[in-house]
Structure 1
Amino acid sequence: MKAVRFIEGGRPPEIVDIAKPEPGPGEVLLRIGGAGVCHSDLHVLDGEVPFKGPFTLGHENAGWIEALGQGVTGWKEGDAVAVYGPWGCGSCHHCQTSAENYCENHASLPTFGGGLGSDGGMAEYMIVPDPRLLVPLGELDPAQAAPLSDAALTPYHAIKAAQAKLTPDATVLVTGIGGLGQMALQILKATCSSRIVATDISADKLETARKLGADVVVNSGSKSAEEEIRDLVGGRGVTVALDFVGAQPTIDLASSLIGRDSRLTIVGLAGGTLSYNANTMPYGSQVMVPYWGTRAELIEVIALARSGQIKADIETHDLDEAATVYDRLREGKVPGRAVLVP
């Protein structure tokens, strides 16, 4: 079968033919309907995350059950499913509460998940090592649903963690209206009534933010961006800031705007640094660095999609186009989420 493979850090992905896998006891073979192309993959390809190759890329995966390994019950061939991405040990406290994203044995595991150390979904078929990692899609198209397992789950987890602060009189700042930021805006509109301020340096993405329900849009590249938002929020400041970029300018902007009893959530991996000194951060403020979300939250994300309240803006491509898609992603030319479809 055809697969998009990570070989080693610093090398582009390679499209090769490998054997179709067979499910062992307790495993599930998935026929892939779609695999999302994520910016995190670039960090893998660049060698910034010390994975040992080769393995098949793709950690946002959905498809149909092709075959069940010995002992697997509760599922049948043909079921449409999404794959929960962060694979934990399955037995520690966090894993037992469905929060495998915060597995206590994370450091000792040989893999972070499919496409992150183990073979992922950028292929015709994929092995899922345990049926606990599957979430039913119902009538959702797997190609449309694949990005929900990360691009929607990650912001959903961050937003849910801040839910108590997202009151009707609060202001939430969403920085970076790419794949995750677009999903965050839809999730916020579906789950709270706080005022939403969206920022980006792209006029096109700011227009997208307007269409997705942002109450105010501000070009974060403008010298007056901080002043514009501060005039809007007054002394209370921004109550919840969601930074989906993580560059130094976006972290600086968000940290300058949050008020007392607030939450700053940094999701993006663009290399910025948040500095702390006593009495400089507002009193009562919290900083969160989320990683993905829980299995239970993925079920909730799928439910939002099935009800029509959220939908990923996708473009589909053949597996053969993977290298070109990654180049476009690196250049910031993928407006929403790219999905590879075998």
Structure 2
Amino acid sequence: MVRAAILPAVGSPLEIRDIELPEPGPGQVRVRLAAAGVCHSDLSLSNGTMRVPVPAVLGHEGAGTVVSVGEGVTHVAPGDGVVLNWAPSCGTCHHCGIGEVWLCASALSGAASVYARTASAARWGSPRPEAGGGTDLHPGLNVAAFAEETVVAANCVLPVPEGIPLTDAALLGCAVLTGYGAVHHSARVRAGESVAVFGVGGVGLAVLQSARIAGAGQIVAVDMSPAKEELARAAGATDFVIASETTAKEVRKLTGAAQGVDVAVECVGRALTIRAAWDSTRRGGRTTVVGIGGKDQQVTFNALEIFHFGRTLSGCVYGNSDPERDLPVLADHIRAGRLDLSSMVTEQIGLDGIPAAFDNMLAGKGGRALVVF
């Protein structure tokens, strides 16, 4: 029996309950969580911006220790530290075949379709349609990290690089891979270039640190909260702009001849900030959108400006990262002191602190909240 934060229905409050997990079957791994980051994607799943079968255990950014493994699992063993990988690649689809593993067609199709039973069958066996109509729990984004333990498919775990504490390693599972990849794989920031980062949350802080590691010259952080300035500058920002209706103009003023930054990275997922990031980018520059927005967030451009500015606008999924390739690189940066994961965490909480962490996200407060088990 383990404790978990359960989303009974989209838009409903999380419930902290005991659940019963099955033993790992063939090709599965049971993990005892050490820590799990509270990501904006979890909030998006809970409020319906992104879809998830319910009832579900959310949480996709985590690390822990292997408890047991099923038949056929050889790359990890009980006692090993592992990072959860919520978007495992199948290795056989078109995208995997051309090296775009972050776009794997099967990554979110149930690679880790493990079902748990709650301790109270009567409560979860009730026929309430909004509760899913049964006692099966779905693992949100494959890994269900908002639980003391989880059972996942073997391709959803990667060994923790040597010398990385598990509580730090949790952030590698989403925020850091996404932020690092946005800079190095999607935007391809070059030494000396100027960068603007919109949104100083967990991913934004990873983007700032990664831009510094890439050798960016001027790094402008943009956020609606003045309280984020200290966090942003500690992560590598040289300038800080409070978000407003004139954000793009303020960013351009900070650049040479007010031409705009070479690269803008949007980490919010709102039409207004995507448009501001685009408007902050110089002619011929690159705008990368990392934030996940809803279908109602419509961004418009006119045909003439697309021609005139010659900018590149690109989406970014999971940082366009390959975790197996990128984790060792990130580990080298951590061991060398270039990447500081603990500085991204602004509060440590228990499972019951997740709703307040969601509220803080909506209010634009803090960096990464970390559930520590």
TM-score by length of 1: 0.88
Counterpart Cα distance in 1 of 2:358 and 2:187: 34
RMSD after superposition: 2.6
Q: Percent identity?
A: 32
Give 1:262 shift.
1.4
Deviations 1:206-244 (A, max 9, x none): 222222221222222274761452352326532110011
Where do residues 201-212 of structure 1 align in structure 2 (5 Å cutoff)? Answer: 201-212=224-235
Where do residues 327-342 of structure 1 align in structure 2 (5 Å cutoff)? Answer: 327-333=359-365, 335-342=366-373
Where do residues 121-270 of structure 1 align in structure 2 (5 Å cutoff)? Answer: 121-131=145-155, 133-162=157-186, 164-168=188-192, 170-221=193-244, 223=246, 226-227=249-250, 229-230=252-253, 232-234=255-257, 236-270=259-293
Counterpart Cα distance in 2 of 1:171 and 1:290: 19
Q: Which residue of 1 aligns with 2:339?
A: 310
- C-alpha distance 340-98 of structure 1, shift in aligned 2 (>3 A): farther
Where do residues 10-49 of structure 1 align in structure 2 (5 Å cutoff)? Answer: 10-49=11-50
- 2:183 maps to a residue whose letter is I
Q: Which residue of 1 aligns with 2:314?
A: 288
Deviations 1:261-316 (A, max 9, x none): 21111122355433222220344321111111322234433432333222232222
Q: Do 2:189 and 2:216's aligned partners in 1 also have CA atoms closer than 8 Å?
A: no
Q: Do 1:28 and 1:131's aligned partners in 2 also have CA atoms closer than 8 Å?
A: no
Give 1:157 shift.
1.4
- 2:336 maps to a residue whose letter is S
Q: Secondary structure at 2:305's aligned position in 1?
A: coil
Counterpart Cα distance in 1 of 2:236 and 2:33: 32
Give 1:131 shift.
4.0
Give 1:64 shift.
1.0
Q: Which residue of 1 aligns with 2:298?
A: 273
Counterpart Cα distance in 2 of 1:143 and 1:13: 23
- C-alpha distance 56-238 of structure 1, shift in aligned 2 (>3 A): same
Counterpart Cα distance in 2 of 1:233 and 1:115: 49
- 2:369 maps to a residue whose letter is A
- C-alpha distance 82-280 of structure 1, shift in aligned 2 (>3 A): same
Counterpart Cα distance in 1 of 2:99 and 2:331: 16
- C-alpha distance 277-139 of structure 1, shift in aligned 2 (>3 A): same
Deviations 1:26-55 (A, max 9, x none): 211111101111111111111222221122
Counterpart Cα distance in 2 of 1:134 and 1:121: 14
Q: Do 1:10 and 1:45's aligned partners in 2 also have CA atoms closer than 8 Å?
A: yes
Give 1:133 shift.
3.7
Q: Do 1:32 and 1:126's aligned partners in 2 also have CA atoms closer than 8 Å?
A: yes
Give 1:144 shift.
2.2
- 2:372 maps to a residue whose letter is V
- C-alpha distance 71-224 of structure 1, shift in aligned 2 (>3 A): closer
Q: Which deviates the most, 8-17 or 98-107?
A: 98-107
Deviations 1:117-173 (A, max 9, x none): 5451111211220246413232222222212211111111111125655241x2111
Where do residues 22-101 of structure 1 align in structure 2 (5 Å cutoff)? Answer: 22-95=23-96, 99-101=100-102
Where do residues 104-123 of structure 1 align in structure 2 (5 Å cutoff)? Answer: 104-105=105-106, 109-110=109-110, 115-123=139-147
Q: Which residue of 1 aligns with 2:351?
A: 319
- C-alpha distance 209-16 of structure 1, shift in aligned 2 (>3 A): same
- 1:289 maps to a residue whose letter is G
Give 1:196 shift.
1.1
Query: Unmatched 5+ residue regions in structure 1?
Result: none
- C-alpha distance 279-112 of structure 1, shift in aligned 2 (>3 A): farther
TM-score by length of 2: 0.82
- 2:104 maps to a residue whose letter is C
- C-alpha distance 75-227 of structure 1, shift in aligned 2 (>3 A): closer
